[in-house]
Amino acid sequence: MARRRVALPAEVDGECVFCAIVAGRAEQSLVATTELATAFLDVQPAVTGHALVVPRRHANALADLTADEGAAVWELGRAVAAAARSAGLADGVNLFLADGRAAGQEVWHAHLHVLPRTPGDGLRLDDRFHLVPRGALDAVATRLRASLPLAP
């Protein structure tokens, strides 16, 4: 039988729970902190060593992060993943970021999951992958390019 996450409050006394953790006003098992990001263990880990990396400034979603904050979250996530391997907690690592309700985001503070993986850990990331015709892929790529705020 698969374990399910228990819905926990995203706010405590009207404050974002991750902001309270970053500020030291809520319990946490701190892994690391930098000027722009903080990593702590998830209270409902999918696997041993499951960490969350958050920007220190409140940002609801990925698009709300500055480039520096995004880079800091990614870099700290990379460092925590490397530490999980060095600590003997991982033979591999999955990084996961749910951005928006449809993607499964439950706490409205952007956060990166660092999931240490070992053979037989039971964590499944199954989905409905399938081959798509090149023309359909090209049409989606065109839509994305047209919406990017970057130069073509």
Residues recognised as catalytic: 111
Phi/psi of residue 50, each to 5°?
A: -60, 115
Distance CA 48, CA 120 (A): 13
Pairing of β 30-33 and β 51-55 = unpaired
Distance CA(9)–CA(88), nearest Å, equals 32
Spatial separation of the C-alpha atoms in residues 92 and 68, rounded to whole Å: 26
